[in-house]
Amino acid sequence: MRTSIATVCLSGSLTAKLHACAEAGFDGVEIMDTDLLVSYESPEEIRTLCERLGLSIDLFQPFRDFEGVEEEPLQDNLRRAEEKFQLMRRLGADTVLVCSNAGTATVDDDARVAEQLGRLADLAAGYDIRIAYEALAWGRFVNDYRHAWKLVEMADRPNLGTCLDSFHILARGHDPSAIEQIPGEKIYFLQLADAPQLDMDVLSWSRHHRLFPGEGSFDLTAFLTHVLRAGYRGPLSLEVFNDTFRQTDVVSTAAHARRSLTWLADRTAAANSWETDRLEDPQPLQDVDFVEISGNSLDDVDEMLAQLGFTFGGKHRSKPVRLWSLGESRIILNEQSREDSPRLSAVGVRVDSAEQAARRGAALGAPAVFRRTYAGEHVLHPVAAPDGTVVYWNDQPPEGTWIREFEGGDAESFDGSGRSGSRAACVDHINLSYRWHEFEEAVLFFHSVLGLSSQDAQDVPGPQGLVRSQVMRSTDGAVRLPLNLAPPTAPMPARHVAVGCTGIVELARAARRRGLQFLKVPDNYYADLRAKFGLQENFLTELQELDLLYDRSDSGEFIHFYTPTLGDVFLEMVERIGDYDGYGAPNAPVRLAAQRS
């Protein structure tokens, strides 16, 4: 697989972009005219730099609005084109992108448009240039790839082909299967972009909200399958217009972009049982092994866990690390940390093969994390998520491995198996928050490295604007990670672990007796609950006395409460009744506001 990327995806000067593309391992680039015209380097200097960096210039995009015009403007368009062909000769680029006319077209006549494209191709032939004609989703008369291909076929020139762009095809809901009817050698170029499903005008959607493959909701695996079945063998090129990516660090965004193509090629090969470009398959996730909270003094967290009814599982025999558990939920407190305040620092998941999972992570560029282990200790293979949260894979039952390294736990109720108490508790979900420039990369990481799939994002009103919440989960829901994105200037929301339990009302009452203060819920909330659900008065009073929150769906009920925030982390206890499958989203504004006051 050859890979390429449009320079418009990235931030900075053209030379900085080219260096970053080479460093990320791309084979080539698409250069947009604007990137060149704002550069002080001559076309020859850019050509030499690309050669030195091992990058080919796979596509150049120098003008718009060529075809579908009357003869007089066409003459001027041909003149413009010839100047750009001369420039391409200096640049060493041999394929030019011509987008369907979105601005000046007045002629809706396929025969005349095909004839005009033919004249352009004949002019380009004198410069050994190929024309790749692309249907923009908002083209005036040509906005469907099948129409663009028909015009190319009608013009019938040896140096005229088409450029397919997944965004224009999938955003319009056009069936991509007809791609297989285009001869592969006539598909001159392939541009790939994912996008979230948005209900907005397609031009703004395209210019601001495209995403790298694996981060949105387009079925790019099926799309690429059609293109490869057609016989296309050119580069997979990313053309992702996105305001965030054009502001983030160019080197890390280029690496992030490159990983999205590794993921897409792997999943497409896997879906078709092709041998090439395959990685190890993602390991199905069984459940959450543990969650780790770090900080250099975690006494407050110990106290809070004891108040919640967690059992002390012992101290690690060689490190300042402690274990607490409630049922199957295990929380590790790690004081080997330079950070003052507690933060959620690691998540362990259980899989069939930790080594295979680690190999897939490495192939997708997830940085390996070194954690000191001593003789006889279970060796894990952690990697870092984009925000630094460490992810561990474990393929052994916890009682057979790392649990044994903890000594001096509460033997009465802690049976050494990692389980404690009789409550059927487990980690229900882990809520992670991201800064504006980390979010998409985190989605790609959890999707590609851990094999989690995205559910539809929701916007939750917070005190400083909408917080985007997107749940990533394993197929059976055993591992669920709601990811939160705060508005750019708002403080980062704290992260939290939600522990599922039964008998939450008694659990809350016992925690109160042990002195735990919950996050205070306003009385107005309970008046609203009464109006919304018509709850029994004594149940409502019980909820209110204990600061419990409540939600109900067609499939069940949800009762939950939050602890105060310690440093950057807090806990939530949740009880799911029936088949309730959400996260209490209607209550999130209450939590976000309470945490700010």
Ligand X SMILES: O=C(O)c1ccc(O)c(O)c1
The widest CA-to-CA distance across the chain, in whole angstroms, is 92
The reply, when asked if residue 165 is annotated as ligand binding, is yes
Distance of CA 199 to the CA centre of its chain: 20
- d(CA 114, CA 67) in angstroms, rounded, equals 9
Q: Which does 206 bind (CB under 5 to 8 A by kind): Mg ion, ligand X, none?
A: ligand X
Q: Which does 328 bind (CB under 5 to 8 A by kind): Mg ion, ligand X, none?
A: none
* Shortest separation between residue 188's beta carbon and Mg ion, angstroms: 12
The answer to whether residue 35 forms part of the interface with ligand X (CB under 6 A) is no
* Shortest separation between residue 30's beta carbon and ligand X, angstroms: 8
Sequence-ordered list of residues with C-beta below 8 angstroms from that of 109, at least 6 positions apart, any chain: none
- d(CA 533, CA 169) in angstroms, rounded, equals 44
* Shortest separation between residue 39's beta carbon and ligand X, angstroms: 19
Residue 291 half-sphere exposure toward CB, CA atoms < 13 A: 29
- d(CA 283, CA 91) in angstroms, rounded, equals 46
The reply, when asked if residue 496 is annotated as ligand binding, is yes
Please give the backbone phi and psi of residue 411, each rounded to the nearest 5 degrees, phi first. -65, -30
Number of residues that bind ligand X (CB under 6 A): 10
* Residue number with CB closer to Mg ion (61 or 345): 61
- Binding Mg ion (rule: CB under 5 A), the pick from 67, 239, 428, 551 is 239
Among 278, 208, 280, 193, residue whose Cα is nearest residue 240: 193
Structure tokens at 234: 């050119």
Contact 326, 414 (CB under 8 A): no
* Residue number with CB closer to ligand X (101 or 470): 101
The reply, when asked if residue 191 is annotated as ligand binding, is yes
The answer to whether residue 204 forms part of the interface with ligand X (CB under 6 A) is no
* Residue number with CB closer to ligand X (220 or 498): 220
* Shortest separation between residue 167's beta carbon and Mg ion, angstroms: 7
Helix axes 537-545, 523-533, angle to 10 degrees: 150
Sequence-ordered list of residues with C-beta below 8 angstroms from that of 23, at least 6 positions apart, any chain: 251, 254, 255
The answer to whether residue 77 forms part of the interface with Mg ion (CB under 5 A) is no
Using only the alpha carbons of the chain, give its radius of gyration: 28
The answer to whether residue 101 forms part of the interface with ligand X (CB under 6 A) is no
Q: Which does 99 bind (CB under 5 to 8 A by kind): Mg ion, ligand X, none?
A: ligand X
DSSP at 500: E
The answer to whether residue 191 forms part of the interface with Mg ion (CB under 5 A) is yes
Structure tokens at 564: 């105060």
- Binding ligand X (rule: CB under 6 A), the pick from 215, 239, 328, 440 is 239
The pattern of x and - marking residues 109 through 138 that bind ligand X according to CB under 6 A reads: -------------------------x-x--
* Residue number with CB closer to Mg ion (67 or 239): 239
Bridge partner list, 459: 468
The answer to whether residue 65 forms part of the interface with Mg ion (CB under 5 A) is no
Q: Where would I find the H helices in 378-494?
A: 439-448
Write out the residues near Mg ion by the rule CB under 5 A: 165, 191, 239
Binding site members: 134, 165, 191, 239, 429, 496, 572
Binding-site entries for Mg(2+): 429, 496, 572
Q: Which residues are documented as binding site for a divalent metal cation?
A: 134, 165, 191, 239
Residues near ligand X, by CB under 6 A: 61, 97, 99, 134, 136, 165, 191, 206-207, 239
